[in-house]
């Protein structure tokens, strides 16, 4: 019964977002951080401290999120600054993802999806 309810709450856009964008736990933490702190401007070390993750893993996650249009990078190398700059379509996908992640049953489903994909 619960499984049917969860499956009914999941749409194709959310599944695709998880598969392509939110496909690791570091990226999930970064997405949630930027969504809840949309005016944040900071470097890799700042983000690493903010989400409590290793800088090397955060750097890879940040670069992937830039490619997908979740965040924007200004500057180069150690002077790089990241900010939350998604277009309206991406912001809606992010909003749906974060809201889903905050629901216990859906969070468990999302975590299982990431684990299955090796994230």
Tens of pLDDT, residue by residue over 10-47, are 678 899 999 999 999 999 999 999 999 999 999 999 99
pTM tops 0.85, yes or no: yes
Tens of pLDDT, residue by residue over 101-118, are 999 888 998 999 899 888
* Residue 77, pLDDT score: 84
**What is the domain extent for residue 106?**
2-116
DSSP letters, 38-61, are TT-EE-HHHHHHHHT--HHHHHHH
Total of domains in the chain: 1
Tokens of 25: 């736990």
**What CATH number corresponds to the domain at position 84?**
1.10.10.10
pLDDT at 58 over 60: yes
pLDDT tier for residue 73 given thresholds of 50, 70 and 90: very high
């Amino acid at each position: 019964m619960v499984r049917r309810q969860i499956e009914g709450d999941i749409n194709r856009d959310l599944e695709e977002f998880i598969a392509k964008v939110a496909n690791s736990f570091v990226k999930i933490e970064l997405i949630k951080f930027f969504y809840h702190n949309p005016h944040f401007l900071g470097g890799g070390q700042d983000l690493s401290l903010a989400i409590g993750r290793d800088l090397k893993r955060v750097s890879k996650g940040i670069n992937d999120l830039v490619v997908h249009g979740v965040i924007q990078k200004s500057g180069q190398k150690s002077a790089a600054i990241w900010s939350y700059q998604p277009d309206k379509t991406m912001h809606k996908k992010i909003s749906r993802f974060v809201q889903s992640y905050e629901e216990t049953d859906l969070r468990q489903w999302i975590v299982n999806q990431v684990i299955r994909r090796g994230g």
